[in-house]
Amino acid sequence: TRLCVLISGNGSNLQAIIDNISAEKLDAEICGVISNRPNAYGLTRAQEAGITAISLDHMQHDSRESYDKALQAEIESLNPDYIVLAGFMRILTPEFVNTFSGKLVNIHPSLLPKYKGLNTHQQAIVNGDEEHGVSVHFVTPELDGGPVIIQSRVPVFEDDTAVDLADRVQEQERRIYPLVLSWFSAGRLKMVNNKAILDEQEL
Ligand code: GRF
């Protein structure tokens, strides 16, 4: 199973995927990592693991359509089975999303449908939520709105800062994203009619 991982920053989820592949817990290969930010630390992580690391700077494009076309071309040249958004902080055009429908997954740091978009940890704290978490979902044209595959919950403690809470959530991210990818690799997971299906059962 060939995975193309898209990142914008640190790449801790990318690292978890790399580590799970090395430990033979995930039967897959990363055929390339693409970042829209040239200085993303995740590109260094990829290089250190001997993985093709591509910087595709969105600042070099004057429209979202133009960027997404270039991104699509890079991805197609890598010939992946799945495209894994791992801290990729850009909204994708419907054309791009539809091109890769069923092959695109994202990890979002909230218990969707709660808190789509940014600053999810801060919102959970401000709203006094007792629990928070992370979701892995198929990507559809609706932002953070595609069918959820798995969620992991964490408690929110009274004196938590957004950073404390993000750390607690990210520990779960590093656990569940490789798990979901192992389901792809085993042919157990797909999207049918905008629904996530695992082992022929709707999630
Ligand atoms: C993660 O919290 C992810 O859920 C969010 O961005 C962060 C990326 O972290 N979308 P990393 O780059 O994988 O370390």
Q: Determine the structural domain holding residue 152 and report its residue range.
A: 2-202
* Predicted local confidence at residue 145, as pLDDT: 96
Nearest CA to ligand 1 atom 5: 87
Pocket test for ligand 1, best of 88, 139, 170 (most atoms within 8 A of CB): 170
> Nearest C-alpha to atom 7 of ligand 1 is from which residue?
87
13 lines ligand 1 (CB under 6 A): yes
Is there a binding annotation on residue 11?
yes
Residue 75 confidence (pLDDT): 98
* Neighbouring-strand partners of residue 154: 132
Query: Starting from the edge strand earliest in sequence, which strands make up the sheet with 104-108, in order?
Result: 53-55, 29-35, 2-7, 82-85, 104-108, 131-138, 148-155
CATH number at residue 119: 3.40.50.170
* Interface predicted TM-score (ipTM): 0.95
pLDDT tens-place string over residues 72-130: 999 999 999 999 999 999 999 999 999 999 999 999 999 999 999 999 999 999 999 99
Report the domain count for the chain: 1
pLDDT at 198: 98
CB of 176 closer than 8 Å to CB of 17: no
- Is the omega angle on the peptide bond into residue 109 within 30 degrees of 0, that is, cis? no
Instruction: Judge contact between 54 and 33, C-beta under 8 A.
Output: yes
**Contacts of 10 by beta carbon, 8 Å cutoff, 6+ apart:** 40, 41, 42, 87
